[in-house]
Amino acid sequence: MAGSMLITGAGNGFGREVALRLAERNHDVIAGVEVIAQVADLRAEAASRGANLRVEKLDVTDPGDRAKAWSWDVDVLLHNAGTAEGGAVADIPAEHLRRQFEVNTFGPVLLTQGFARAMAAKGSGRIVFMSSIAGVITDAFTGTYSASKHALEAFAEALNQELAEFGVAIATVNPGPYLTGFNDTAMERWKEWRDDPSRRMFDYENLAFPREQFDPEPVFEKTIEVLTGGTDRYRNVVPAEMESPVRSQQDAVWDRKQNDGTGTRGELVQQAYDTAPATPAD
């Protein structure tokens, strides 16, 4: 059995269900949630499921919360905390761009620093980053989110090399589009912008997440497999059948011309206009 585990962003989404399932299976789990209001809610659900789950307030962007967390004895760390906001690169306001990097990149990396030292001192540990296929490819209207995940992938790769001699394992989980509400909500965040709508390049009232979305069940079990050492793969794309098209999209960049598509609307841009929100995959 893996040792004690810390899961950030466990107040909702993938992290919440993974934390609950691990606790149900008698793993020693600390579920970190962003705001104090989520603590009682998650404790109540854990109790209703007969799971012994420790819930702590842990906002990864808060230096005080990060310092508090470093006092916990953690053998496996899952960086699940994240946020997404759709919008064209030319439109998204600066404060919204910065917020995605604070939550998705800077917070997790700064939290990692203290745990990396502690794990290195023990000579063992595992650090897992909940990345995304957006960490290795980019779609229209996800440039900021993808950039934050690309940066996270770079830090993970550096850590993989730097911590090898200390016995600390690094891995990423890279989900495709899953129907959790995360992607669809991201495409509504423009409603929070304090900008001049007349200057926007796109009509966000009529845009939706441009891909069909899968049932999230495989992500829960793949993440648990990675956390508990059931696989030794560094990068774990879910669903597995997306790995080939992701590789193909990465490779296609090498042959792209500067003016490819000039004067025509991009395929995924058009899909964002044509796709209904929360469209399930077949």
Q: Which residues are catalytic?
A: 145
Rounded CA gap, 204 and 206, in Å?
Answer: 5
Rounded CA gap, 35 and 58, in Å?
Answer: 7
Rounded CA gap, 176 and 131, in Å?
Answer: 10
Name every residue whose Cβ is closer than 8 Å to that of residue 176 and which is 6 or more positions away in sequence: 133, 214, 237, 238, 239, 242
Whether residue 81 contacts residue 109, with contact meaning beta carbons closer than 8 Å, is answered with no
> Read out DSSP for 156-186?
HHHHHHHSGGGTEEEEEEEE--BSSSHHHHH
Rounded CA gap, 160 and 168, in Å?
Answer: 8
Whether residue 210 contacts residue 275, with contact meaning beta carbons closer than 8 Å, is answered with yes
* Host H or E run for residue 5: strand 5-7
Rg of the chain, C-alpha, whole Å:
19
> How far, in Å, are 56, 107, 112, 272 from residue 160 at the CA level?
28, 18, 12, 36
Rounded CA gap, 146 and 215, in Å?
Answer: 21
